[in-house]
Structure 1
Amino acid sequence: MAKKRTSKSPSPPDHMMTRWKLTKLEILYRQSWLFGWQLNGPQPASPLPIFVDPWKGNPQNGALIAQGTLPFPLSSEPFARFNWIRDLRDYGGSRARMTARTLILRWLAEHKDWSPVAWRPDIIATRLTNLCLTYGWFGESADEDFQHQLKQMMAVQFRCLSLDWQRLTSPFDQLVALTGLVTGQVALNIPLQAVKGAKDINALLDLIIPKVKGQLNPDGGHKSRRPETHLDLLRLLLECRVAMAQIGLADRPGLEELILKMAAIAKMWRHASGDFAHFHFAGALPAAEIEQIISRCAVKGRVISIAEDTGFVRLSAARSLVIMDTGVSGPVSPVARTQADSGTPASVFAFEFSVSNHQFIVNSGQTSPEPRLNRALCQTAAHSCLTLDGLDNHRPLAGLPASVQSLDVTTADDGFLIEGLHDGYGKSHGIIHKRQLFLAKSGNSLRGKDTLSYTGAPGEIPTEAITRFHLHPLVSAAKIKQNQVLLKIHNQKTGWVFKCRGGEVFLDQSVYMDGTSRLSCQQIVIRTPAHHIQVNGTADISWAFNRHSPSAPRATR
């Protein structure tokens, strides 16, 4: 870092400092030459080691970067993480290698001084990890001057990371930072600064493992219930394991146990296509990226069917698969509560249904780049679920969270049954919702029943219950009778027939998020009058998806 400055750096906007805590005085100190002096120290004497990078890049992005088209500005946060190095590497060629070196040196020249974004601890950690894991491709054959500049920068930022990681406000960001310290310590072999109680990698792992356990439910699922957050944490643990293997450190039993439990939950969320079901902001990661992380875990055995603490059930029969959000009982976890401001999906008892490698019944998903649209897609109506009077079934910010009062998963001779009961409309209407899903062992029939029951508690008189089934964009639907719909999955010969009792069936338009792309699709809607529930006590809506078996043609003589 330079000791002389020609101009004073401007103070960072408040929104830049929400991820970590620094006073104005501490910011001014970091913008002074004294902080640069504090970060000075002995440089790594030996060459950087060559890691085995477990992750793949995107060669299409690499081709664009090699041709001079950056997917994001050099000064942006995504660029500062240095994930783009893998894109160039997997594109291949000497030109890509030279481009990587040029961009690294250019970034170093423009960010040699402290700044609140590029030098944020979790970004430093990600950058150091990516540089270490990809160094064998871009750096080993570079000239000594490049290697010296790179090691000097990495050593300075490693010391800054060891000083500042505890200032991060998010426990997950702290784990990102600690993982970067593990990888950086293996690569640079220089002393840590101000990491309380951590003098070596084993001590860092002693900090990491309890923090990871604090992020997880007893069954191994992340407390946020977000599949992609869960997978990001699993990736961090695998990067720790790579760093440990680099120095011949045997697997830590506690670390290995966490990896296996988390991998089992991650597999539970996947359809046969390899994609995550659209629950709780999942759907942005491609199946190949999910697979490369799970495959590194070497988890064996059958996929688990029940994660009661995390709140999901998976039923599989023949080539049909149901994944259901069974909600959680008891108070919302602090981890999930901190994410409520960004929208908590109201998806209690929503489900997805796939046949073979084809998704059939889906949820809309919340992967749009538009925050307002994502908030709308968090509503119960954007899920394959039941709503009462157009209200969400889980409203924690309004003091009306849904609690699951009972959940049973049983196996019968002819199939598998989920029965769940939640009170998401208990305080507002005095009504509880019971959902039953039955998947036949043949995989040719999915039957359900939604029951609304009046508890006798005071509440609003309900008007209408609406049960929705959002169809994947590759599924077409046509109404054939009053309460019957014929369904066809693209590239499948056999169709399906939907039937229901207890309401009137309509077809309507819907939205499905395919990554960041917004696609049009259809939805089946059952409208059921609900004003009589407080008099009659209950209202039942029964429905079924059955594989269509046309009558065999008569033989000709």
Structure 2
Amino acid sequence: MDFGPDRWRLYKLALSEAGRAMRGGMVWSLSKLFVGTPSPTRLLFAPQDLRTADPTIATDIYSGFFAFAGRAITTSGRSPFAFTPPSRAWAEALYGFGWLRHLRAAGTALAQANARSLVDEFVSSKLGDRSVACDTQIIARRLMSLISQSPLILEGADHAFYQRFLRLLGQHVRELERHVRSGALPQKQLMAAIALCYAGLCCEGLDRHLRRASRLLTRELERQILADGGHASRNPRVIVDLLFDLLPLRQMFASREVDTPEALLNAIDRMLPMVRMFRHGDGTLSHFNGMGVTAADHLATLLTYDDMRSQPIQHAPHTGYERMEAGRTLLVVDVGAPPPTYLSTEAGAGCLSFEFSSASQRIVVNCGTPRIAGDTIIQASRTTAAHSTASINDISSCQMVGDRGNWLNRRVARWLLRRIGPVVLSGPERVTSERSEREHAQVLTASHDGYRQRFGLTHERRLQLSPKGNILEGEDVFWGEGTGAPSAEAVIRFHLAPGIKASRAQGGRVVMLVLPNHEAWQFTAVPVGAHVEDSVFLAAPDGMRRTEQIVLSIRPSETPSVRWRFERLARTFNPGQTAEATQELL
């Protein structure tokens, strides 16, 4: 952060955010005077919650055991809302009320009574962490959860509880509208719009609020869902999460016989093929820009709503990704610049990184985003070194707002972290990509200038996938006026998926890879030798897993380019089989 241009970017961002905060504060104060609480008169219907549910979790909740995001508390008869949350992620899960779907899955009178009791406890509680409970996105999630699970909550309820529940929904609508008016951040605006549409469609007496919410929804979808179907944050998980909310919303508009916003229909139609773009043969999504564990059951449920059975997008220039397929082999490549500042809290410095798989087996991966981890590990997962690409002098191609530098930088950064989170401060400004064919092989050439300002270097990567998918060739080139800087060292990493056995041969000129499905691949590089080092895969369902990485190191001033190659040797590897038999299996 001591680097001059980044320091001034930090100050400029802080001034901009201070202005936004002042405007928002004034609007918030005025809205308290002039915005009343809407009064829904009754619930018309409840939307379907597409997320899978587990009735055994209902038993845990009834016994007072609340386990979310890797943390748990036992209430011993007290309200869970009276406890200090063990982590922010735990608090977000508790106050979002998504766990109500597990009670509904239990389908018992006991679960219904428990749900009503917990809703009443929330209303009467002082809130253990108001900053989380009153966050725009959490209010929106809670409103959608309460409406979706209203049959569970209201079954067998008396009239007094029913009226309290309607007032609670009205209070949530008022709070969300105040957050929207006071200038909530973009993703929060979109979540608020979706939740307000849920309320307007499912509650009688909110027609005026529905019209405003529909306009807000249209505006935010047009801003945030790009022409190729990706989200402006470039995070694959965001489009999955949005689809779980937007698909029921589309059905609600149809059920109420209200004109469905064209922006909603268009967004869904574009987003479903984009989900398929990121999907590998094992059914999970590529690990770019905040993507972590893929809930395979959730994803399978989601794709059943793809009426057109769309094909994966191969070329997503607006979101900045490319997909290459041949035979059993699949490649997904990040060729995009960092997302807009306010949408970059989870973005990684992984420009030109790629993930590579053969059938249902991942080979090269990015480290991914951990589901449960502290801030230090999460920030490490965003560095260039955590991606299968090149870094220079162990510096990332993007710089994020962080608590470092001199006292003024640290003070400004801490304030920004509280306000908007660890956003990207600087990164590649010019990212190019071009696809072509060469003797029936697919070729992708891409470059970024994320190291030009510091080192005067541009990183260019060329990838070529053979027609049969059995050979992936690559070349990394570093060019520019900084090639004469003797101190610059480029390190190219290929993080291997867990379970792959890697062994060096011929003094590092060859690395043999044996996959868990018994395929055998060979990695070679010229003019430098390869090293095999420890790595960690952060996005495994059962937590972080140790793995390995192939590492190439060069000095661009002496060796401006390095060529490398992955080649499949056998689909079923047997250490004792002959070379001739191995060739027949290719």
What range is the shorter-chain TM-score in? 0.7 to 0.9
Alignment match, 2:73: none
Superposition pairs of residues 376-525 of structure 1, within 5 angstroms? 376-395=380-399, 401-404=427-430, 406-453=432-479, 455-456=480-481, 460-482=485-507, 483-490=509-516, 492-515=517-540, 517-525=543-551
State the Cα deviation string for residues 51-75 of structure 1 (Å, max 9, x = none): 3333323445334213321126425
Contact between 1:225 and 1:310, CA under 8 Å: does it hold in 2?
yes
Establish whether residue 541 from structure 1 lines up as the match of residue 544 from structure 2: no
More divergent stretch after superposition (130-139 vs 108-117): 108-117
Cα distance change on mapping 1:378 and 1:19 into 2, 3 Å? farther
The 5-angstrom pairing of residues 141-220 of structure 1 reads: 141-191=156-206, 199=208, 201-220=210-229
Could you tell me which of 544, 551, 554 is aligned with 2:579? 551
Residues 407-431 of structure 1: CA deviation (Å, up to 9, x unaligned): 2112345421111122233333333
Assess, with a 3 A threshold, how the Cα gap between structure 1 residues 210 and 513 changes in structure 2: closer, same or farther.
same
- CA–CA distance in 2 between the matches of 1:202 and 1:272? 42
Q: Does 1:361 align with 2:367?
A: no
1:306 aligns with 2:315: yes
User: Could you tell me the TM-score, scaled by structure 1's length?
Assistant: 0.82
The answer to whether the Cα contact below 8 Å between 1:19 and 1:169 also exists between their aligned partners in 2 is no
Cα shift at 1:210: 1.8
**Aligned pairs (5 A) from 1:219-258:** 219-258=228-267
Output the CA distance in 1 between the equivalents of 2:178 and 2:399.
Answer: 40
Q: Separation in 2 of the partners of 1:401 and 1:187?
A: 44
Q: Does the 8 A contact of 1:417 with 1:436 survive in 2?
A: yes
* Residues 232 and 343 in structure 2, CA contact (< 8 A), matched pair in contact too: no
Does the CA contact (< 8 Å) of 1:452 and 1:540 recur in 2? yes
Structure 2 CA distance, aligned partners of 1:48 and 1:111? 30
Pairwise CA distance, 1:164: 4.2
Query: How far apart in 1 are the matches of 2:266 and 2:331?
Result: 27
The residue aligned with 1:54 is: 50
Write the letter of the residue equivalent to 2:486: I
CA distance in 2, matches of 1:100, 1:477: 51
The one-letter code matched in structure 1 to 2:378 is: N
Structure 2 residue aligned with 1:109: 124
Per-residue CA deviation, residues 334-353 of structure 1 (Å, 9 max, x unaligned), is xx22355x474221111011
Give the CA deviation at 1:404: 4.1
| Change beyond 3 A, Cα 1:486–1:18 | farther
Gap change, CA 1:138 and 1:123, over 3 Å in 2: same
Q: Structure 1 residues 522 and 409, CA, compared in 2 at 3 Å: closer, same or farther? A: same
- Amino acid of the residue matched to residue 546 of structure 1? E
> Which 10-residue stretch deviates more, 279-288 or 468-477?
279-288
Shift of 1:314: 0.6
**Cα separation, partners in 2 of 1:63 and 1:495, compared to 1, 3 Å:** farther
**Residues 414 and 510 of structure 1, relative CA distance in 2, 3 Å threshold:** same
Give, in whole Å, the separation in 2 of the partners of 1:240 and 1:100.
24
When structure 1 is superposed on structure 2, of 97-106 and 458-467 the one drifting more is 458-467
What is the CA–CA distance in structure 2 between the aligned matches of 1:542 and 1:19, rounded to whole Å? Answer: 53
The 1:489/1:62 distance shift into structure 2, 3 A limit, reads farther
Match of 2:77 in 1: none
CA distance in 2 between counterparts of 1:286 and 1:19 reads: 40
Inter-partner Cα distance in structure 1 for 2:123 and 2:222: 36
Q: TM-score, normalised by structure 2?
A: 0.78
Deviation at 1:247, TM superposition (A): 0.9
1:102, distance to aligned residue in structure 2 (A)? 2.1
1:101-143, CA deviations, whole angstroms, 9 ceiling, x for partnerless residues?
A: 2212222232699966534444333222112112223423444
Number of residue pairs matched by the alignment: 512
The answer for the alignment partner of 1:536 in structure 2 is none
Matched AA of 2:146:
L
> Per-residue deviation at 1:487?
0.8
CA distance in 2, matches of 1:19, 1:346: 31
Contact 1:445 1:547 in 2 (8 A): yes
TM-fit CA distance, 1:362: 0.6
Partner SS, residue 70 of structure 1: strand
* Contact 1:19–1:170, Cα closer than 8 Å, also in 2: no
1:99, distance to aligned residue in structure 2 (A)? 2.1
Contact 1:51 1:246 in 2 (8 A): no
Render the CA deviation track for 1:279-302: whole Å, top value 9, x for unaligned: 111014423223433443435332
Q: Distance in 2 between matches of 1:131 and 1:339?
A: 27
Which amino acid is 1:110 matched to? Answer: S
**Residue 350 of structure 2 contacts residue 387 of structure 2 at CA under 8 Å; is this kept in 1?**
yes
Describe the shift of the 1:318–1:458 C-alpha distance in structure 2 as closer, same or farther (beyond 3 A).
closer
Deviates more, 1:202-211 or 1:481-490: 202-211
Cα 1:510/1:135, change in 2 over 3 Å: same
Change (3 A) 1:324 1:113: closer
Q: CA deviation at 1:366?
A: 2.8
The letter for the 2-side match of 1:543 is W
After TM superposition, list the pairs within 5 Å mapping 1:100-139 onto structure 2: 100-110=115-125, 117-139=132-154
- What is the one-letter code of the residue matched to 1:324? V
Cα–Cα, structure 1 residues 47 and 521, in superposed 2: closer, same or farther, change >3 Å? closer
Higher helix fraction (1 or 2): 2
Give the secondary structure class of the aligned counterpart of 1:249.
coil
Change (3 A) 1:355 1:61: farther
Sequence identity (%): 24
What whole-Å deviation, never above 9, does each CA across 1:405-464 have from its counterpart, x for those lacking one? 5321123454211111222333333332221111122222211111222x3468733443
- In the TM superposition, what is the alpha-carbon distance from 1:469 to its structure 2 partner? 0.7
Alpha-carbon offset, residue 325 of structure 1: 0.5
Task: Tell me, in whole angstroms, the C-alpha distance in 1 between the residues paired with 2:305 and 2:21.
Answer: 34
Partner of 2:558: 532
CA distance in 2, matches of 1:370, 1:19: 31
Residues 417 and 438, structure 1, Cα contact 8 Å, conserved in 2: yes
- The structure number with the bigger radius of gyration is 1
Q: Greater RCO between the two (CA within 8 Å, min separation 6)?
A: 2
Offset at residue 25 of structure 1 (A): 9.5
**1:304-360: CA deviation from partner (whole Å, max 9, x where unpaired):** 1111121110111222111110123xxx65xx22355x4742211110111112211
The letter for the 2-side match of 1:496 is W
Q: For residues 189-233 of structure 1, what are the alpha-carbon distances to aligned partners after superposition, in whole Å with 9 as ceiling and x for unaligned?
A: 2247xxxxxx25344322211222112333332222122233333
